[in-house]
Structure 1
Amino acid sequence: MARAVTIFVAVLLLAYLALCAALYVYQRSLIYFPQPKSWGGPATTQQLQVKDAELVLTARQSTGPKAIVYFGGNAEDVSANLPSFSEAFPGHAIYLLHYRGYGGSSGSPSEAALQSDALALFDHIGKTHAEVTVVGRSLGSGVAVWVASQRPVARLILVTPYNSIQELAAQRFPWFPISWLLVDKFESWKYAPQVTAPTLLIAAGQDEVIPAASTEKLYAQFKKGTAALKVLPGTSHNTVSQHPQYLPLFQSML
């Protein structure tokens, strides 16, 4: 009987370790869902060469000093934002980044790669635009916070932001040692205190992906007087941009 129990426990342990290994190996396929570029043509497409990849941008050019750079969600085709952004912000150049593996950009996404690419894009834009507003939605909010902690952005807008991906993953997989397994942690809370630009956090009132507590924890990390939090009622994680006050909130910052 004792031998049978030992064998049973050993089998369970091996199965658990196998699941841990699978989570580790395939974790990025659970975070990133690359999307093709569906809107625009050559006139609204640019390439940015970085050291180990060629990135695709959906863009609207402008010769003025103001620009908006946008980092999207993990399953977002950012090109679809160009028509509404162009109408809402006629005086701004607009740059929508297709992450590595998304929209024709080469390479594979990772936290380190996205951070490096985002800084390269900001530096590239900064050569021709003195006033750059950085916007990040969902996954991209972590990228945007990182950029704002490292560069003199004019303003920072975060849509459905989280405190950290690690916390969200730990809630989703409570039986696994996520802090050991997860490589791309996107710990926005670490970088928020370093942000000095005026910041707006926009939360969905009924967000089923990012808990309100996660957004509120991030909000509390910004220096007093730096950030404001607005909740759009009746919206979910994916419908927040359909609220009639969504783009007007952007405009209030610009």
Structure 2
Amino acid sequence: MQKTLTILVMLALGAYAAACLALFLMQRSLIYYPPRAAAVPAPQVSTLEVPGASLKVSERPAAGHGAVIYLGGNAEDVSASLPLLDASYPERALYLLHYRGYAGSTGKPAEEELVHDALALFDKVAPEHGDIVVVGRSLGSGVAVQLATQRPVRRLVLVTPFDSLRDLAAAQFPYMPVRWLLRDRYESWRYAPQVTAPTLILAAGQDEIIPAESTRQLSTRFAPKVATMRVIEGVGHNTISNSPEYVKALAWAR
């Protein structure tokens, strides 16, 4: 009986270890869902060459000092946001980054690389447009916060952001040691205190993906008077941009 119990325990431990290994190896496929192609044609598409990848950038050119860099969600075709961004920022040039592996960009997405790519895009845009607003949506909020700590961002807009992807994943897989397995953690709480750009946090009133507490917690991480939070009621995580209030809210950063 004891021998049988020992075997069962060993089998259970082996199965658990195998599950942990599978989660570790597959984790990025559970985070990133790249669209294959851009659905909305941009007025202009440029290529940003970075170490290990060639990135597509959907652009809406505009003369003048102002520009917007848009960093999308984990499954987002950023070109679909062109019409709304055009309406919100008619006088600013628009630059929408297609992450590595997304819609024509080469390479594989990972947190460190996405942050480096966002910095590279900022550095490409800055010589022509010195007044740069950064908009980060969902996963892109984690990239945008880190960008804002390393470059002189004029204003920062975070749409349906989270405090920490690691905490969200740990809640999603409560019986797995996710906090130790996760490589891409997007811990915005670590970087938010360093942000000096005026920041607007846009939350969806019925967000079914990001817990309201995670967004509220992030709003408390910024230095006093840096961040303002606004909740758009009656919308979810993926439908917040359908609200007429969305364009009005983005216009805060004009």
**TM bracket, shorter-chain basis:** over 0.9
Over residues 141-163 of structure 1, what are the superposed CA-to-partner deviations in whole Å (9 max), with x where a residue is unaligned?
Answer: 00000000111100000000000
Aligned 8 A contact 2:164 2:188 in 1: yes
Which 4+ runs in 1 deviate beyond 2 A? none
CA positional deviation for 1:180: 1.0
Over residues 184-240 of structure 1, what are the superposed CA-to-partner deviations in whole Å (9 max), with x where a residue is unaligned?
Answer: 000000000000000000000011110001001111000010000000111110001
CA positional deviation for 1:247: 1.0
Report the counterpart of residue 184 of structure 2 in structure 1.
Answer: 184
Question: Runs of 5+ in structure 1 lacking a partner?
Answer: none
Measured in 1, the distance between the counterparts of 2:62 and 2:50 equals 23
Measured in 2, the distance between the counterparts of 1:87 and 1:135 equals 14
Measured in 2, the distance between the counterparts of 1:225 and 1:84 equals 28
Structure 2 matches for 1:90-129, cutoff 5 A?
90-129=90-129
Over residues 63-91 of structure 1, what are the superposed CA-to-partner deviations in whole Å (9 max), with x where a residue is unaligned?
Answer: 21000000000000000111222233210
Report the counterpart of residue 211 of structure 1 in structure 2.
Answer: 211
Measured on the aligned residues, the alpha-carbon RMSD in Å equals: 0.8
Q: Is residue 57 from structure 1 mapped to residue 57 from structure 2 by the alignment?
A: yes
Report the counterpart of residue 38 of structure 1 in structure 2.
Answer: 39
Report the counterpart of residue 172 of structure 1 in structure 2.
Answer: 172
Question: Runs of 5+ in structure 2 lacking a partner?
Answer: none
Measured in 2, the distance between the counterparts of 1:240 and 1:62 equals 26
Measured in 1, the distance between the counterparts of 2:94 and 2:206 equals 29
Measured in 2, the distance between the counterparts of 1:253 and 1:94 equals 13
Measured in 2, the distance between the counterparts of 1:135 and 1:85 equals 10
Structure 2 matches for 1:1-254, cutoff 5 A?
1-35=1-35, 36-40=37-41, 43-254=43-254
Normalised TM-score (structure 1): 0.98
Measured in 2, the distance between the counterparts of 1:88 and 1:167 equals 32
CA positional deviation for 1:52: 1.9
Classify the secondary structure of the residue corresponding to 1:135: strand
Over residues 101-142 of structure 1, what are the superposed CA-to-partner deviations in whole Å (9 max), with x where a residue is unaligned?
Answer: 001001000001101000000111101101000000000000
> What is the identity, as a one-letter code, of the residue corresponding to 1:39?
V
Q: How many residues matched?
A: 253
CA positional deviation for 1:51: 2.1
Classify the secondary structure of the residue corresponding to 1:150: coil
Normalised TM-score (structure 2): 0.98
Measured in 2, the distance between the counterparts of 1:116 and 1:31 equals 18
> What is the identity, as a one-letter code, of the residue corresponding to 1:11?
L
